[in-house]
Every structure is written in structure tokens, then in C-alpha cells.
Amino acid sequence: MTTDRKPTSPESRWIWPFELLEQIGEGGMGVVYRARYVVNGREVALKMLPSDVTDETALARFERELEVLKNLKHPNIVRCFGGACENRRRFYAMELVEGGSLEDKLQEKKQFPWEQVIYFALQMCDALTCSHAAGVVHRDIKPGNFLLAHSGQLKLSDFGLASVADSRRITAAGKTAGTFLYMAPEQIRGQEITDKTDLYALGCVLYELITGTPPFIGETPAATLHMHCQNLPVRPSEKALDCPIALERIILQLLEKDPADRPESAQAVMRQLRSVKQSVVVTRPTPEEMNDRARSGSGATRSQAKSPSSGVPLPGPVEPTNSVPRWVAIALAITLACSLSWNIIQVIQRQSGDHGEMLWVQAAHHSDPDVRTVAIESLGEIHQKTGRHLPVLETALEDIDPEVRQQSAHEIGQGGRRARHLIPVLIRVQKNDADSRVRDSANRAVQNLQGTLPEQKPEEKSWIGWAVAVLLTGVTTLGIYHWFKTSSVPRTSPLPFRHA
């Protein structure tokens, strides 16, 4: 169908009670005009079946579309005002949507941000929920059949007969494939058509909106249909880096070959879409940043560790004293300062470590599989030291990316006794996972947890803390010993003392 605007001839300007203003669309099964309703002057879109069409199937489709639209009343479905037949010309009037189609916007923008895709997808699902509840399967979901109002509201159109452009140009191949780009496998094979057929086409549309290309494009229509039935689509995040992993999962589930593996309904898809949020971008802190944090935490402490100034001795006899020698006091002060500094550094590192752990947990749900793999590796190292975050590693066993699953199985296998309760889960992965690398990794993890592989060497304790503790204990003991030794020995002043 073409969308060139053409003036109407004077003799055909009227089809009562409408004045035809201009032609705004044309196809093999009908012509669409901008028309004015003479009763109140309202402009509408008027679809007319050519008078020379006598095919019974075409006439039945036109009548069926009129009945469907009259019974579907929803903000996201084009409203029908009714139709008639005059001078062997069948026609019906419907709501005029002047913002063009989603297909037009897609050709203009090439692709949409993920937030806008979700905004459109929710409206599409709302329209399909209404249609499916009425027992109507659209069968021709595609960008060209979603009309876009100036307010941004989508309107689903063409329930049985194209009213806007029904062909889709593949610029790269110079071919026209039409609705082949959005056709479900069961539709191609001539099997039963259900609501889930529309959901597959919806997945194709969402894939195209966020990546700029349909999921499958062949050199010929036959090649495209074969890809729909046999090929797996490239993951959307590989073409659109900002695509949230949750949205990607929804799209890939809609594109499942078996209708039973797709979401239960358009309403279920709406619930999933409303929960989509973008993950944060996580970067590993550099060694310089960690050193700066440690220095900033210990510098203030060192500046506060200063020995007090000594007083001036008075002449005359000195009573027996139990004061600690100066060198012992200095040594004790230095040891205390080192101990305090060490403790502060440990607190700072523990706090920064907790914050870093939360970032890695968030990164485990990132849209980029490489980021998820690094996050799982880091969380595995943290689990070996602290025993935390094992549930995150278990969840990653169901990731859509095999490298993430493989890394997760490996890290669980290094978890020791804390991870032994996950052996049944690993055995299930070993038997059922589609990727051989994941199965091998799960097998090694099971063997490691069962103790058939050499145990890991226990992590070496930090010797610095022990050294500080021993030094502090030694200096304190030496000071106390010296204090007891000298407290019983009277000391006299070298200067003579004269009574007044």
C-alpha cells in the first residue's frame, strides 16, 4: 500500500454523509481517505473497498473487520464509527490518527531508547489484552499497523484489511518482505493460530524498535520464513548496549519457537515490563584508589599520635618514684599508634569492601554478559573468604549466557563446605544444560565439593595483625617489668638540698 496523498476528482468527492478530502492510503484491498462528516464537520479516516472487488473472501474480510472494530472499544485501538454500502461501494469511517505510523517513526529514528520501547510496549500489550479478551487474534502485528497520535498514544489498526502501508522495505537487500518479518512459526506452518501468535509478532516488533532491525532478515521471503522457524535471534543487547537484561529476557521469551514457551498472555507481559529497571554500571576500583582511601584514613590518626611534652625537674631530693622510663613511654606510644592506625585501616577496608560487594551483586544482573561474568568471578572470591553471596551464584546458574553459567558453576565448586548443599542443583545443571562447557564445569564443581579433587589450600592468615599484636604485648610487658623493678629503688637528686 502506498501513502501518497492524492486529491479526489470532483465527481467522486461525495459518499453520503461524507465529503472525501484527499486520499491518504491505498492497497490491493482498499483505499483510505481523509473525509469530513457533513453533520458536524468532524474529520475522519474513511476506508473504502473498490467497487470492482467481487471476491467473496475479500468482501467477507472487509465485513469481518468492520464488525471487529465496532466491538473493540479501547484507547489503544482505532475507533470505528460504523459503515454502509452505497452504489456497490462498501466503506466505514474510523478515527483519524494524524501522527503517522510507528513504522514511519522507526524509519526516521532508526531505533528507540529502551525506556521509550517499554512505553510503546505497554500500550501494545494493553491493546492486545482487549482484543484477545474479545476472542480476536490480530494476525498482522507490525510497526505499520500501530498508528501514533501527536500525544504519543499508540492505536492498533488493520484488523483484517490493510489501511496503511502493508509492505516493508529491506534497504540492505533491496527486497520487500511484508509481514514475513513478523510471522510466527506456527503461522508459517499453517498450524493453529492463538493469542500467542500475536505475542510472537509483538516480540519481533519490540526487537526491531530497540535494535533498529527485525530479528530475522533473509535474502528472500522464503529464507526469512525459514529463519523464523529454525534460527535463534541475536541477543538484543549485542546490538543495543543499553538494553536492560530484564527487557532482553522478555523479548527473547516472546520469540520462542514453541507457543507454550511464550508468556501466558499480553497482560502477563505488561506485568513483566513494569518491573524492568536498568542496572548500574560497575567498574572495579583501581589499586591507586584503594591506596588513597587507606592513606586518607590512617594519616589523621598518625597526626594525633604525639607524645606529651616533658616537665622541668625541680632541684632537691626526689622521693622514690615509679615513673616509666622515657624510652619505654616512647616505644609504647609508637606501638599504640601503629595498632590504632592498623585498626582504622581495617575498618576502612571492611566498609569499602561491603560497598564493593553490593556493586558486584548489582553487576551480576547487568545487561552485558562480560560484566556479569566478571561480577560472578569476584563474588566467588568474596564467598571463599566470607561465605556470603552464595544465592547470587546459584541464581547465575540460570543465566541466558553460557559463559556466565560456566563461571557460576566453577565458583560454587570452590565454595567448600558452605556450598555442599548445592550439589543436587549442580547435578541437574550437569545433566540438563544445553552447553557442554557448562556441563563440564558443573561436573568438576560436583567432584570438588564431594572431595574427589584435591582440597584447596587454606587461605594464609595475615601476618601483619599478628606482628602488631606481638609487638604491643612485648613492649607493654617490658614496660610493666621495668616499672616494678625501679619502683622499689629510691632516687635522690644530685643537687644538695638545704632546709630553710
453: pLDDT strictly greater than 60: no
Percent of the chain with pLDDT over 70: 69
44 Cβ contact list (under 8 Å, min separation 6): 18, 34, 35, 36, 37, 81, 93, 94, 95, 96
Q: Provide, for the chain, the percentages of residues in helix, strand and coil under a 3-state DSSP scheme, each rounded to the nearest 5.
A: 55, 10, 35
Q: What integer best gives the mean pLDDT of the chain?
A: 77
The predicted model gives 215-219 an average pLDDT of 93
Separation between Cα atoms, residue 270 and residue 30, nearest integer Å? 33
* Predicted confidence band of residue 198 (pLDDT cuts 50, 70, 90): very high
- Other CB atoms within a 10 A radius of the CB of residue 87 amount to 7
Q: Residue 18 pairs with which residues in a beta bridge?
A: 15, 37
290: pLDDT strictly greater than 70: no
> Domain spanning 102-274 has what CATH number?
1.10.510.10
State residue 346's pLDDT score: 67
* Predicted confidence band of residue 463 (pLDDT cuts 50, 70, 90): low
Dihedral sign for Cα 207, 27, 223, 196, please.
positive
For residue 270, the Cα-to-chain-centroid distance in whole angstroms is 16
Q: What is the DSSP letter of 425?
A: H
- Other CB atoms within a 10 A radius of the CB of residue 405 amount to 25
State residue 163's pLDDT score: 28
Residue 90 vs residue 96, higher pLDDT: 96
Dihedral sign for Cα 296, 300, 301, 306, please.
positive
241: pLDDT strictly greater than 80: yes
- Which residue intervals of 364-388 are DSSP H helices? 369-386
94: pLDDT strictly greater than 50: yes
* Predicted confidence band of residue 308 (pLDDT cuts 50, 70, 90): very low
24: pLDDT strictly greater than 80: yes
| Helices and strands (H and E) in the chain: how many | 17, 11
Q: Determine the Cα angle at 13 with ends 8 and 19, to 5°.
A: 115
State residue 199's pLDDT score: 96
Q: What is the DSSP letter of 159?
A: S
* Predicted confidence band of residue 456 (pLDDT cuts 50, 70, 90): very low
In this structure, CATH architecture of domain 6-94: 2-Layer Sandwich (3.30)
State residue 56's pLDDT score: 73
Q: Determine the Cα angle at 414 with ends 412 and 417, to 5°.
A: 85
Q: 40-92 pLDDT, tens per residue?
A: 888 998 888 776 667 677 777 777 777 777 888 899 998 888 777 765 678 88
Show which residues are catalytic.
140
State residue 40's pLDDT score: 85
C-alpha atoms less than 13 angstroms from C-alpha of 407 in its C-beta half-sphere: 22
* Predicted confidence band of residue 274 (pLDDT cuts 50, 70, 90): very high
Q: 491-500 pLDDT, tens per residue?
A: 444 444 444 4
Separation between Cα atoms, residue 60 and residue 164, nearest integer Å? 20
Is 47 a known ligand-binding residue? yes
**Domain definitions of the chain by residue range:** 6-94, 102-274, 287-306+321-450
* Predicted confidence band of residue 313 (pLDDT cuts 50, 70, 90): very low
State residue 258's pLDDT score: 95
State residue 209's pLDDT score: 96
pTM for this one?
0.52
* Predicted confidence band of residue 296 (pLDDT cuts 50, 70, 90): low
The predicted model gives 412-435 an average pLDDT of 88
Separation between Cα atoms, residue 123 and residue 115, nearest integer Å? 13
φ/ψ bin of 389: left (φ > 0), alpha (ψ from -120 to 50), beta (otherwise): left
Q: With 0-12 CB in 10 A as exposed, 13-18 as middle and 19+ as buried, what is 84?
A: middle
Residue 53 vs residue 249, higher pLDDT: 249
193: pLDDT strictly greater than 50: yes
Separation between Cα atoms, residue 181 and residue 454, nearest integer Å? 54
Separation between Cα atoms, residue 172 and residue 140, nearest integer Å? 23
Which run of H or of E encompasses 28? none
> Domain spanning 287-306+321-450 has what CATH number?
1.25.10.10
The single residue listed with the C-alpha cell 517513526 is 105
The single residue listed with the C-alpha cell 520501547 is 117
The crossing angle, in degrees rounded to 10, of helices 114-133 and 266-274 is 150
Residues 317-355 as b or e (16 or more Cβ within 10 Å = b): eeeeeeeeeeebeebbeebebbebbbebbeebeeebeee
State residue 131's pLDDT score: 92
Q: Report which of 61, 81, 59 is spatially closest to residue 70, judged by C-alpha positions.
A: 81
- Length, in residues, of the chain: 500
